[in-house]
Amino acid sequence: HLSIRRQRQMCIRDRIRIPKLLRESLLIVLSILLALVINEWRANQKLEVEKEKILASIILELENNLESLREVMPYHKKVAKGLSDLLKSENVQDSLGNRSAINLFFQYSQNGFQEPRVQANAWQTAQLSGTMSQFDNEIIYHLSVLHELQQEGVETGWKKTAESFYESESFDPSKNLMILQRFQLSVSSLAGMERYLIEKHEETLEFLRNKK
């Protein structure tokens, strides 16, 4: 009888112990899950803060680019107009004389070329850091289009235009009229490219400000 009684007592204790163990196990699991949720939330918060910082840097960079483009575009437009007026004059050949086209160009553009100080450091940082994945598709699209145009139009196009002015023919007086016509077309295209980039910067900045 004694052994039967002990068995019953052990069964009762086990029945009491099992729910207690289940509760403790459940609490441990819930604690782990809660810790994971909190860590994920903190990571998301950190990414959100980082995203806002990068976006603010991109906006500031675009504002500086826009200011630089607004400075140089009117100057290039004025140079193109001066060359155009010279080439349209009746005594254009007499005006050119025996001077080389490059010397004539600098006569009508005393400051030469004015390179726009456009940058893409903040955009490149967003790409390299992986922060860009936090932006929505519309923001990525607008920024991608703008920076592609900027790279083709200024970072590459401007340099090619400037380099073309120093080819050997530019120093040959016998070809001054033909080369000066080419100069005028190049500077006019440069001003048009800069004007287009100004418009795209303005559009993109307005879009980004409305998204914030």
Condensed to tens digits (0 to 9), the pLDDT of residues 124-142 reads 888 887 777 778 889 999 9
Which span out of 99-103, 119-123, 153-157 was modeled with the highest average pLDDT? 119-123
> So what's the pLDDT on residue 38?
62
- Give the pLDDT band of residue 2 (cuts 50, 70, 90): very low
pTM: 0.72
Phi, psi of 126 (to 5 degrees): -60, -40
**What is the phi-psi region of residue 130: left when phi exceeds 0, alpha when psi lies from -120 to 50, beta otherwise?**
left
Is pLDDT larger for residue 162 or for residue 146?
146
Asked whether the predicted pLDDT for residue 70 surpasses 50, the reply is yes
Asked whether the predicted pLDDT for residue 27 surpasses 50, the reply is yes
Q: Say how many CA atoms lie within 13 Å of 159 toward its Cβ.
A: 7
